[in-house]
Amino acid sequence: MEPLPRLARQLISPRDRLILSFVLEYLQTSSLGLSDVALHISGGYVRDLLLGRKSDDLDLSLCLRELHPNITIDTVACGMPDFALERPDLGIEQVEVITCLSEASRGKSVDAAQVRITISSWEEPTIVDLMPTIGKETYDANDRIPRRDVRGTAEEDTLRRDLTICALLLRVTRMEVAQGAGAGLNGVTGAAWVNGANGLNGMNDITSSSLGKGGGAGLSTVPGQLASPLLPGQSIEALAAELERRLDGEWVAAKCANFNKCVAAAATAASLQFRLLDFHSGVDDLQARVLRSPYPRHRSLSDVWEEVILSPAERQLADRLGLSASTPRTEAETREMLQVVWWAKVLRDDPLRLVRALRFSASLGFRVHPSFWRAVPFAVEALRAKVSGPRKVTELRKIAKASRAALLDFFELAFEPLAAFGDDVAFGDALFGGPSVGPRRLSVAVGFDTARMRAAAATLPPDMEPDAALGAVLAAALISSDLTPCDSNGAAGAQSDDDALKTTLEAMAIAEAEVEDAARAGMTAAADDEPCPPGTPVGHHFLLAAASGVSLERPLVASAAAFASLVRMWEVLKLDQGEAQRQLAVGADYVLALGASRASSATSTRLREQLQLLRTAGPTISGSAVAGVPGLPAHLRGLFISMLHVFCRLRAEAVDLSTPEALLGYLDETCEGLLDQLRAEWWQDGVWQTGADGRKPRLREAYTKDATLAWQRAGVVLEN
């Protein structure tokens, strides 16, 4: 065991030190006989410390190997709440056990607990996960919850981890009292605290945490304008006496009721010692920035081979990949083969580790060890069929929260075909398919174009929420592949691009509705060679297109099809700046980039020109003004607003139409009776009012509510 480097020690927060001190004291004094239980910090917390980052995810592993079987993590956790009440000097206000295990977990000896630890009522509580050091894990074929030996050693516990950089442990102990030194509270030396933050001043932040809100910045900067700083090297008793002498009575009355408790808690927490356990060269891998799996260095290759390569299909796959346990090898080649075979086991046991490895590669900028790609073929089918969609989504959301660059790197790694392994290996297909999709599962690896994905994603707004960014980048990645649908036997079938995109997004269930709409619109506009069924322009499009060309400032006559296309683009891209709540999170440029990734040059140019026109200055229109237009059917009001926005921009008129009077005057006078023409088009026989005989007016079929909705949902033919 090596001491934790000083810079890494300083990243352990005062709050975490108090919690660790509390747990260690509990183990050492518990009536359950836990004094010999080794306490370890495990998982990503240790990795982040060595990378120079703080972590909020505190996981603790307890070695229960030498204890009676009746002593479990649940047993240990259940004694903590009472201990917190008995020992207020440790600075912990409350402990709650919030363990919640499924019946399947309890039946498979998944001994674990979760506790909520509150240091003061002023701060948010900390959730701490407690686990035993686990030995061998055995997985069922169709279950991700393993059967575990919960009496493993620390080394056995690290071997079950998926990556060496996550297999590091920190052993937490008390510092020994130096001989001849004056002992302070709890038998802690008052002089050389080599593993504290900075000598006695290392208690400053810890004491502040214990005092709670407004408790001051620490022991060396207590309110009252001290004449000289409090220096390390003093005993705790002398320090307390000096503080009491210097502080004014009002502050003492308000803040020092718990002073002795805080000093004791700080002294105990500052006495912790941290030693690093690295059984699998995880520190070396952190320095080399490489990701690989731990493997059993002390077992023979033939022994590991018999444990891992079980079925005839796996043996055939191993032969095809050139893997064998019998061929004579050098020591280096044997280690490499052990690495590949054991990583195949790790990935097959929990296939989501495939995603985790690529997530860490993308978010940390680490290189995946070549043995990973040789192990992947053994786990891709299990990833498709064994791992649920929500678990996959959780991993994807973690990547999205890391950064946009990490998200793009991940999709590039996931979608790139593994050509060396033939058609049988498609990691991206296994990730984005699954049992819920059934026979309509799509291939996302075939024809994937990284440059196309990145070009589309480059148009996204930089400040998007992580979930929206995830959906948008996913859509860009999907459109950047061929999206070949497969039946249950993996054979290609016929499906339109629009259906393929919709099916995939629904299967993943992570893209926002607006992302799906925008992506589908981009695909519809782009597929000009084989377009989806179009929405044919109807009469009012012809009327408005013709009237839009009479402006003297901009003599442009738009065809009815082009006018209808502009209206559809306005609505799909949600370009109305007056409705901020309905704006596309992905932005209009992104949707056009999706379209351009599949469209001809002529169509891409037309899309850009249309968007440029729609972004020019336009009218000010209110819903109340449109509601006051006689003869306008209520269900056409929203569409009519969109048509007015397009109409006025074609005429280059940024007019104020925010009142019924202004709108009616514009349609009747400026546009020379356009409203009468529209009412004659919408209503049969041009009659839009109830007759003297009580006969109600009837809309033409093309303008009924159902027909209008159908038109809005259909594609539009673009003129080239």
Confidence of residue 231 (pLDDT cuts 50, 70, 90): very low
Write the Ramachandran bin of 509: left for phi over 0, alpha for psi from -120 to 50, otherwise beta: left
pLDDT digit string (tens) for 434-484?
A: 444 455 566 776 778 889 999 999 999 998 899 889 989 988 888 888 777
Confidence of residue 621 (pLDDT cuts 50, 70, 90): very high
pLDDT digit string (tens) for 389-405?
A: 888 888 899 999 989 99
**Distance between CA atoms of residues 111 and 130, nearest Å:** 9
Q: What is the pLDDT of residue 262?
A: 66
Class level of CATH domain 6-174: alpha beta
CA distances from 571 to 513, 521, 585, 719 (A): 15, 10, 14, 19
Q: What is the pLDDT of residue 216?
A: 39
618 pLDDT exceeds 80? yes
**Distance between CA atoms of residues 565 and 609, nearest Å:** 12
Q: What's the CA dihedral at 629, 633, 639, 644 to 10 degrees?
A: -20
pLDDT digit string (tens) for 277-316?
A: 999 999 999 999 999 999 999 999 999 999 999 889 899 9
Neighbours of 188 (CB within 10 A): 22
Q: What is the pLDDT of residue 444?
A: 72
Instruction: Read off the tokens for 656.
Output: 């104020």
Among 348, 338, 349, CA closest to 371:
338
Which residues are 129's β-sheet partners?
Answer: 59, 114
Among 201, 193, 199, CA closest to 176:
193
pLDDT digit string (tens) for 25-77?
A: 999 999 999 999 999 999 899 999 999 998 888 999 999 998 988 899 989 99
Confidence of residue 96 (pLDDT cuts 50, 70, 90): very high
3-state secondary structure of 271: coil
Instruction: Give the least confident one: 121-135, 257-271, 538-552, 626-640.
Output: 257-271
Q: What is the pLDDT of residue 143?
A: 56
Rounded to the nearest integer, the mean pLDDT of the chain is 77
Contact 321, 364 (CB under 8 A): no
pLDDT digit string (tens) for 626-649?
A: 999 999 999 999 999 999 999 999
Q: Mean pLDDT throughout 422-437?
A: 60
Q: Please calculate the CA angle 151-152-158 and round it to the nearest 5 degrees.
A: 145
113 pLDDT exceeds 50? yes
Among 415, 410, 458, CA closest to 596:
458
What percentage of the chain reaches a pLDDT higher than 90?
38
Q: What is the pLDDT of residue 671?
A: 92
Instruction: Tell me which of 324 and 82 has the higher pLDDT.
Output: 82
Q: What is the pLDDT of residue 512?
A: 38
Q: Mean pLDDT throughout 242-247?
A: 57
Q: What is the pLDDT of residue 266?
A: 74
Instruction: Tell me which of 227 and 363 has the higher pLDDT.
Output: 363
Confidence of residue 598 (pLDDT cuts 50, 70, 90): confident
Q: What is the pLDDT of residue 477?
A: 87
Q: Mean pLDDT throughout 510-525?
A: 39
Instruction: Tell me which of 485 and 544 has the higher pLDDT.
Output: 544
Q: Mean pLDDT throughout 174-188?
A: 46
Contact 507, 393 (CB under 8 A): no
122 pLDDT exceeds 80? no
200 pLDDT exceeds 80? no
Handedness of CA 683, 684, 689, 694 (dihedral sign): negative
510 pLDDT exceeds 60? no
Q: What is the pLDDT of residue 55?
A: 87
Q: What is the pLDDT of residue 646?
A: 94
**Distance between CA atoms of residues 657 and 697, nearest Å:** 27
244 pLDDT exceeds 50? yes
**E strand or H helix at 588:** helix 588-596
Q: Mean pLDDT throughout 420-447?
A: 61
Locate CATH 3.30.460.10 in the chain: 6-174
What percentage of the chain reaches a pLDDT higher than 70?
71
381 pLDDT exceeds 70? yes
Instruction: Tell me which of 559 and 212 has the higher pLDDT.
Output: 559
Q: What is the pLDDT of residue 558?
A: 53
**Orientation angle between helical segments 539-547 and 637-650, nearest 10 degrees:** 30
Q: What is the pLDDT of residue 40?
A: 97
pLDDT digit string (tens) for 644-699?
A: 999 999 999 999 999 999 999 999 999 999 999 999 999 988 788 776 666 788 89
343 pLDDT exceeds 90? yes
CB within 8 Å of 640: residues ≥ 6 apart: 626, 629, 632
pLDDT digit string (tens) for 210-228?
A: 444 444 333 333 333 333 4
488 pLDDT exceeds 90? no
Q: What is the pLDDT of residue 176?
A: 66
Instruction: Give the least confident one: 129-138, 144-153, 631-640.
Output: 144-153
Instruction: Read off the tokens for 577.
Output: 């700046």
